[in-house]
Amino acid sequence: MPTTVIKGGTVVTADLTYKADVKIEGGRIVEIGPDLSGDEVLDAAGCYVMPGGIDPHTHLEMPFMGTYSSDDFESGTRAALSGGTTMVVDFALPSPGQSLLEALTMWDNKSTRANCDYSFHMAVTWWSEQVFNEMKTVVQDKGINTFKHFMAYKGALMVDDDEMFASFQRCAELGALPLVHAENGDVVASLSAKLLADGNNGPEAHAYSRPAEVEGEATNRAIMIADMAGCPVYIVHTSCEQAHEAIRRARQKGMRVYGEPLIQHLTLDESEYFDKDWDHAARRVMSPPFRNKQHQDSLWAGLASGSLQVVATDHCAFTTKQKRFGVGDFTKIPNGTGGLEDRLPMLWTYGVNTGRLTMNEFVAVTSTNIAKILNVYPRKGAILVGADADIVVWDPKRKKTIAARTQQSAIDYNVFEGKEVTGLPRFTLTRGVVAIEESTIRTQEGHGQFIRREPVTAVSKALSTWKELTAPRKVERSGIPATGV
Ligand code: DUC
Ligand code: ZN
Ligand code: ZN
Ligand code: ZN
C-alpha cells in the first residue's frame, strides 16, 4: 500500500510536544519517529502535527423552526476540514412522536455525502415505552452511546423532568451518556411572551428572554437529576458562569459532569445584539445567546483549569433570508450560528496566541477530551501508532481575515466576519487522505464513514444519599392513626 510521511514537523498532542515524522498507510498511523520515508511526503517544517479537531455538536440539514439548517453533510464537513476539523458528531432528531430508528434512517441517508468521518447523538424529544425500547437498539445495534435532551423549546423539543429522569435512568442501564441543552424552557416561554406583549419584538429581545439564570437553574437541575439516576451528564453549549459554577461544584463532589463552551460564546459578546442593524443581530441569534465579558472570562478559566473540557460550535447555519422569518417576532428567528470552519483558527488565535491556553490544552479541548468522553479514543483524538490518520498540519504563522466571501459554509455571512486569525491548517488529512492543502480544497464527497461508539459501563454512580431510597425499606409500624378521624 502507498505510504505518506508528514515530515519535519513538531507533534503536539494533549500531553506531549516533540519533533517527529509521522508515517501513514491504509488510513492509519503506522510509525512515528525521526527520518521516516514514504511514497508521498508532506512538508511540515515550521508546523505542528496535531490530531484533527472533533466537533461534537453540529446540526447539519436539520429541520428546525419551520425550515432546514442550510449546511448539509457535504458543505458542513467541507467547512470542517478546511478549518482542521476531521470528525463531526451530529444530532439525529426525531420529532415528538417519531420513532428513534426512523429518525436515524433519515440521518443515515443525509450523511452519505460527508467528506469526513462522523457519528450521531440521538435526541430524546418525547417519552414512551417505544422510546425506552428503541434506546437499547440505538446503543447496542446502531453504535450510538449518547442521548440529547432539550430542557428548552417548550411545545416542540422540550422534555419534562419526569421524562428526563426516566431517560437518564435508561442511559445508566445502557452505559450511555445523556447530553443536555440546559435552559429553563418554561421561564423562557414566559419571558418571551411578556417581551412580545410589551412590544419588544427585535432580535435583542432574544437575549433578554434567555438570561444566564435560566441556564444556571437548568444546568443545576440536570446535574441533580443525573445524580439521582446514577449517570454522568454532559452539558452542551455552556455559556455562563452560573452553569459553569454548577458543573464545577458537581465535579468537585466527584461527579462525572462535563461542560462544553462554544467558540462563539468565548469570542463574541452580547454587544452583537445591540446598536447594530436588524440583520446583524438576527444572524447572531442562537440559544443560549451571547453573554458579557465576565461570562467569557469564566469560560476561558474553565478551559484552562479543566472544569470545562470541550470547545464545540453547535454549527446550525441559517441564511439571512431564513433569519428574516422573524421580522416582527424574535421568537420566529431560526436559532443558530455557524462556526465549523473557524473553531480551530479562532481558538488558536484567541486562546493559544494570547497565552490563555497551551498548545497541549488546545489539542485536549478541540479533540482528545471529547474522543475520550465519546469513547472513540485512541482511534480518534490521538497521534499514536494504530490511530486513524485524522491529522491537521498546523501552520502557526499562516494568517487570514475571516470572510463569508471565502468560506466553505453555504450561508451568505459569517458571525466572525473581519476577525484576523493567525494559525491555520497547511494540510488537513482525513484517514490519511489530504483533503485540504492551504486554500486548495480536495475533499471527496462520500469519503466520510460512520464511526460506531460502544457503550461505557459503570462510568458513574449516584453520590446523593437519595439513591438509597430507590430500594425503599419496608417499615412495619403499629399505632397508625385511623383515617378521617
Ligand atoms: N440552539 C441553537 O442556537 N440552534 C440549534 C439548537 C440550539 O439549541
Ligand atoms: Zn412542563
Ligand atoms: Zn442546544
Ligand atoms: Zn445544538
pLDDT tens digits for range 52-63: 999 999 999 999
What's the pLDDT tens digit per position in 299-330?
Answer: 999 999 999 999 999 999 999 999 999 999 99
Of ligand 1's listed atoms, the one at least distance from the Cα of 337 is 3
Look at residue 40 and tell me whether its pLDDT is greater than 60: yes
- Coil, helix or strand at residue 320: helix
Nearest residue (by CA) to ligand 1, atom 5, is 336
**129 alpha carbon – ligand 4 mean position (Å):** 26
What's the pLDDT tens digit per position in 68-100?
Answer: 999 999 999 999 999 999 999 999 999 999 999
**287 alpha carbon – ligand 1 mean position (Å):** 5
- Type of residue at 9: G
For ligand 1, mutation pick of 209, 219, 287 (most atoms within 8 Å of CB): 287
CA–CA distance, 150 with 133 (Å, rounded to integer)? 20
CA–CA distance, 360 with 149 (Å, rounded to integer)? 31
Provide residues with CB under 6 Å of ligand 1: 59, 181, 286-287, 314, 316, 335-336
Q: Domain coordinates of the chain in residue numbers?
A: 52-384+398-405+447-463
Give me Rg for the CA atoms of the chain: 23
First to last CA, the chain: 88
CA triplet 282, 285, 290: central angle to 5 degrees? 125
Paired sense of beta strands 420-430 and 433-437, if any: antiparallel
Look at residue 464 and tell me whether its pLDDT is greater than 70: no
Return the CATH fold of 52-384+398-405+447-463. Answer: TIM Barrel (3.20.20)
Look at residue 469 and tell me whether its pLDDT is greater than 90: no
**468 alpha carbon – ligand 4 mean position (Å):** 35
**79 alpha carbon – ligand 1 mean position (Å):** 19
Which are the contacts of 483, defined by CB distance < 8 A and separation ≥ 6?
Answer: none
For ligand 1, mutation pick of 57, 58, 59, 121 (most atoms within 8 Å of CB): 59
> What is the ipTM for the molecules in this complex?
0.92
Paired sense of beta strands 257-259 and 391-401, if any: unpaired
Nearest residue (by CA) to ligand 1, atom 4, is 336
**153 alpha carbon – ligand 2 mean position (Å):** 11
Other beta carbons less than 10 A from residue 360's beta carbon: 17
What's the pLDDT tens digit per position in 99-117?
Answer: 999 999 999 999 999 999 9
Look at residue 159 and tell me whether its pLDDT is greater than 70: yes
Query: Residue 283, Cα to own-chain centre: how many angstroms?
Result: 20
Look at residue 209 and tell me whether its pLDDT is greater than 90: yes
CA–CA distance, 131 with 145 (Å, rounded to integer)? 15
> Measuring CA to CA, which residue among 120, 283, 151, 140 is closest to residue 204?
283
Ligand nearest to the CA of 333: 1
For ligand 1, mutation pick of 285, 314, 323, 411 (most atoms within 8 Å of CB): 314
Per-residue confidence (pLDDT) for residue 473, from 0 to 100:
75
Location of C-alpha cell 453573554:
291
Other beta carbons less than 10 A from residue 162's beta carbon: 10
Nearest residue (by CA) to ligand 1, atom 2, is 336
For ligand 1, mutation pick of 286, 290, 313, 331 (most atoms within 8 Å of CB): 286
* DSSP assignment of 41-107: EEE-TT-EEEEPEEEEEE-SS-EETTEE-S--HHHHHHHHHHTTEEEEEEEE-PPTTS-HHHHHHHH
- Coil, helix or strand at residue 394: strand
Stated pTM of the model: 0.96
What's the pLDDT tens digit per position in 238-281?
Answer: 999 999 999 999 999 989 999 999 999 999 999 999 988 999 99
